[in-house]
Amino acid sequence: MAPWDFSDDAALVTGAANGIGRGIATALAKAGARVMLADVAADKGAAAFAALHPHPLGHRFVAADLATRDAADRLFEQAVAAFGRVSIFVHSASPLRREAETVFAVSDEAWEQMIAVNLRAGFRLGRAAGKHMVENNMPGRMLFVTSLHAESPRNLPHYSAAKAGTTMVMKELARAFGPRGIRVNAIAPGAIAGGGFVANPAMAERIAMGRLGTPEDIAPMALALLANEISGYVTGTTVVVDGGISLHNWIAPPTEF
C-alpha cells in the first residue's frame, strides 16, 4: 500500500468497521502499525479486525458508541492500556446519514447524534491524544475524516454542520499541539461508496474521473498525511480526495416546504 514504515506506531482508528475508516485501519496495519479499531457496529468491527494483516504484537477491536458522553474518554484510555502509547489517532466515525434528512426533515435526535459523534467525540479524543503525545514526548499525528459538506451546503444540515465544526476542531488542535511537534490534518473525501454513504451510481456522471470512489482511493492519501517522511511539515490543512466531483457546478433541486 505504501513505501513508508509505521512499525513504530500504535494507532487508534474510529469508525473502523467499514468504509473509509476500515480502509485506513487496514492500510496502517499493512504498513506495520498496531491498530485499535473502534466502532459502534460490533459484528462488522469484529469482522474488520479478523481480516487485518497479522501483527506480532496484536491488533485490537473495541465496540464504542461515541454518541454517549463519556465514551470518547473511555476509548482512549482503552487504547493506551492496550498498547502503552498511541502515536496516531484517526477519527472517521460518523452516524449513517440519509439523503432525506433535509433542513425540513432532520430530527433533533439525528442532529444531536451527528454532532456528538463527529464533533464532541472528535474533540475529546483529539485533546486526549494530544495530551498523551505531549506527556510522552511523541511527534504524534492525528487525522480527521471530514467531507466536501464542510465547505458547501448540500442539503444535509446536521452532517454539513458536524463536518464544518470538525474542520475547525482539527485546526484548533493543530495550532495548540504544533509547537510540540504534533501534526493534525484532515482528509475530505468525495463520493465514496460504502460505509455511511449509499451512492447512486448515476452520480458518477458528475465526477470528472467518471466513477465513484472507494475506501482504497482514500487510504493512500491518509497514510501520506500520517507519514512524517512525506508530510512532516504539513499541519492544520485539509486535503480533498474526490475524483473531481467538486469541479461540478452542483445545484441541488429546490426543496418544497
What digits encode the pLDDT tens for the residues 196-232?
666 677 777 778 777 887 889 899 999 999 999 999 9
Total-model pTM: 0.92
CB atoms within 10 A of CB 192: 24
Q: Which residues contact 137 (CB under 8 A, 6 or more apart)?
A: none
Q: What are the two backbone dihedrals, phi and then psi, of residue 191, each rounded to the nearest 5 degrees?
A: -85, 95
What digits encode the pLDDT tens for the residues 140-177?
999 999 988 777 777 788 889 999 999 999 999 999 99
Residue 197's pLDDT is: 63
Least confident of 115-129, 222-236, 241-255: 241-255
Residue 221 in grid coordinates: 492519501
CATH topology of domain 10-247: Rossmann fold (3.40.50)
Residues 49, 159, 177, 197: which is the catalytic one? 159
* Contact indicator for 166, 119 with CB cutoff of 8 Å: yes
CB atoms within 10 A of CB 256: 6
Name which of 193, 4, 150 is nearest 88 in CA terms. 4
Residue 250 in grid coordinates: 452542483
Active site residue 159: yes
What is the domain partition of the chain in residue ranges? 10-247
Tell me the percentage of the chain whose pLDDT exceeds 70.
93
